[in-house]
Amino acid sequence: MISVLHTWGQQLGLHPHLHCIVSGGEVNKDGQWQNIRSNGKFLFPVKALSKVFSAKYCEKLKAKEPIKYKQIRQEFWQKPWVVFAKKPFGSSNSVVEYLGRYTHKIAISNHRIKSIDNDNVTFDQRGPSAWYLGNSQNSNPCKS
């Protein structure tokens, strides 16, 4: 499995999420690739994957940080855990293209930057308002 952690969404707000590529097969005893599912469908049931992933994640967090887990567990389970799954890639080129979009993506590309001064960076977001990033505590983090 290959996974890439992103901490922002399209509007550059906090939105931690993973992009994962999971192999749908294995190399057999003869050294040949063998698909586990030959019908081109998903390796796992998508709805079940959301529940299993969230349970495994929380299990690991609880084991590593039991006090912190007790403090945040209600909040964890109030929000839906969503797994968005795509159909299997058609080729290794498709895998490389997908990975390239997410591993070489920057938060703010140059064409979105509108102005820069000593205190702020102004840039377009995907949506109706512009955001301002400042280097001081007094900076307004968001202006509609």
Domain that holds residue 130: 110-144
Q: Are residues 51 and 66 in the same domain?
A: yes
- C-beta separation of 132 from 120 below 8 A: yes
Model pTM above 0.75: no
Give pLDDT tens digits for 51-103. Answer: 888 888 889 888 988 888 888 888 877 877 778 777 777 777 888 887 777 77
Q: Are residues 101 and 117 in the same domain?
A: no
Structural domain tally of the chain? 3
